[in-house]
Structure 1
Amino acid sequence: MQVYLVGGAVRDRLLNLDGADNDYVVVGSTIEQMLSLGYQQVGQDFPVFLHPETKEEYALARTERKSGHGYKGFAFSFNENTTLEEDLLRRDLTINAIAQDENGNLIDPYHGLDDLKNKVLRHVSPAFVEDPLRVLRVARFAARFHHLGFKVAPETLDLMKEITRSGELESLTPERVWIELHKSLKTNNPEVFIEILHYVGALQVVLPEVEKLSGVPGPKRWHPEIDTLVHTMMTLHRIALESKDPVARFAMLCHDLGKGLTPKELWPHHKDHNVTGLEPLEQLCKRLKVPNEYHDFAKIVVYYHTYIHYLYEDGARGIVTLLDHLDAWRRPERIKPWILCCKCDFLGRKGFENRPFPRADYLNEMFVICQTVTAKEFVAQGLKGIAIKQAMFERRVELIDTFLKTIPRTEIDNSANSQPPAETVEQ
């Protein structure tokens, strides 16, 4: 019986990264022997055991062969004669097919160390095409390791395209797609996940609402990058630089979904795309069973992200009304992330990356000022019910009106020159 540390734990240690769980492969053992040593069997498709003390996972070395459709269509074979090399051969990427023995020696039959050195994500064997989930996994690894300089090997991209053409991607469960998307949203470069899926044709299958943005133009004056999918990727990249919150990142991925529904004869303008964007958002969230936290925040970003361009249009009263619509007083934790999403939407355009956007800071300040207004003083005045709510509204308007007088007049006067045309907002 020989035990080897395998997979992500070995890879990440070699990359000086933290976070991967320890997974072990056991060679030369049987189910009966593992149970006799006190291991707890938990695997359903193949024998996986929990260590009696550390509770880390130990799996018997195994081989697999394609036996059906989809990423679950595999038959596994395991016995005490299965070698480590045979087990590693079934893995997806060479950098995930490196093992380490109990003495720290590395076993690398498929040249994963060379690919780590050269920063290449490469498939281990032609059997890569048998598992459609690997398209999403490789895209996620590309997103995770992009900041280190890793690229997907051209021949691996070709196999990913082959999987897409085979129709096997349709077998992926919505839950599995969400798991991979969610993990990608936590990487340094979530936009790379989407870009890779788009390149190999898989985005149309797993996120068709996002794929619809490809080739849809925006007005050149406000979107020099032209293509709406490119803009979405730029905003997703920007929010990843500004925030580690995957909820905000998901919202940016979805913020312009409505533009994918604009009739071609209306291009490059997208009147009321904030309204039309709600339907594809609902479809996406329902299909992938997106958690409510992500859905609810994305909904307010989709609908209200254009409103910040007209922040000063209706003065203090309009600003307080906007905060009311955002449910700012019951859900104050949403406001700062929402403002950040609006900022990233503005900066996520070609040539706009370094432009000032003081409205974000001013709106944050105005929200903090409005939070000082409470019902207590109006209750003391004898007001009740709706009268209290109205009095609080008017007090907030007074405070914002005073604050607006401290803002440089050029910020208000010039705001019209730094915003998309008014037709993008529901009238």
Structure 2
Amino acid sequence: MIEYNYQNTLNYAKEQDHKDPLRDFKEQFHIPISANGEPQLYFCGNSLGLQPKLTKAYLEEELNDWATLGVEGHFEAKNPWMPYHELLTEKMAKIVGAKPIEVVMMNTLTVNLHLMMVSFYRPTSKKFKIIIEKDAFPSDKYAVESQIKAHDYNPEEALILWEPRPGEELCRFEDLEAIMQQHGDEVALLLIGSTNYYTGQSFPIKKITTLGHQYNAKVGIDLAHGAGNIQPNLHDNGPDFAVWCSYKYLNSGPGSVGGCFVHERHANNNSLKRYAGWWGHDKKTRFNMRYDFTPIEGAEGWQLSNPPILSMAAIRASLDVFDLAGFENIREKSVKLTGYLEYLLKDLEGEKIEIITPRNANERGCQLSIKLKNADKSLFDKLMKAGVITDWREPNVIRLAPAPLYNSFEDVYKMVQILKNLLA
């Protein structure tokens, strides 16, 4: 790990911004304005990313083609709608570390999670259990429980929670190993969030995948808080599938289309059970309308319906920004920027707040979660009134996420000064 000689001064923050090779990308995003007329200090990209300025032009392009071409836009638009989703594939694959054949943008995260479990959770009387982390995002837990019930198993018996030890906030990999040693012969699926939404802890995808496969279990990764944040290297790390949303770090707009990864080794496995729809059918015969279902090779074969073009136009705008910046550069700045936030917050830790996110940059993305001690939501409310946009999670955590594309070192410095004054 690189050691940075951080300094707790505004001049230092401004100097780092001046040297930052990504400094101009902030100008490519709309920054909301506070009631006092000043730009907000926006640290909520882990919940909803800011809008790229390209987005409006990309949307208007599709609206204009729809207005002037009607149905012919499927073939005659500047970016024809028929293959539109393919415009997203290569750039998205770069971000998650996959081959293009392994990636498709479709549906939303929980829908994709259900579709993947149809294929990769195939319980038997002896092998029917699923492992998730205890503080997985609630939607994951709901989806898993409903899949277990759909196969006529009892979640109280079939669902195993990987949880921190008493008095700790973070999960230990050796405890997951112990769970597998005890239950591995009964585990059908490990479904782990790559980066935990609550603590910000990033889990070792390669080690989890290897562990699951040792016991002949399938492995799925929820990248909701990982895509656009960490480098999951999905192809090399080898999980069977992964799913993610695109409206957090990928800045595609509220409720926008999600993404899905299916490892290349499953690309032509037509014996896998799946819920099918016409958009997943072989492109050469899709419009013949009379053929039995023949899936497209790779992740595209799990598509159901033709995609929402307007939503995908917004994703395309953001992916173009990511591609221009280069994800390795984004991640490098993220490590340094989040490290600076941690450095400044350390001076404030004590009786009132505690950072519960791992201190090792390899075990987190850009989010730091602050646990409030013997406090309520009032500190969060005061931050909001001061123009600092963060995120509250019950019972006592404020999540801060300096997104490297549009947050600066000066943003981080100013935010911590406001927090310091409020704590005082």
- Do they superpose with TM above 0.5? no
The structure with the greater share of residues assigned to helix is 1
Larger radius of gyration: 1
TM-score by length of structure 1 reads 0.23
Q: Comparing both chains, which one has the higher relative contact order based on Cα–Cα distances under 8 Å and sequence gaps of 6 or more?
A: 2
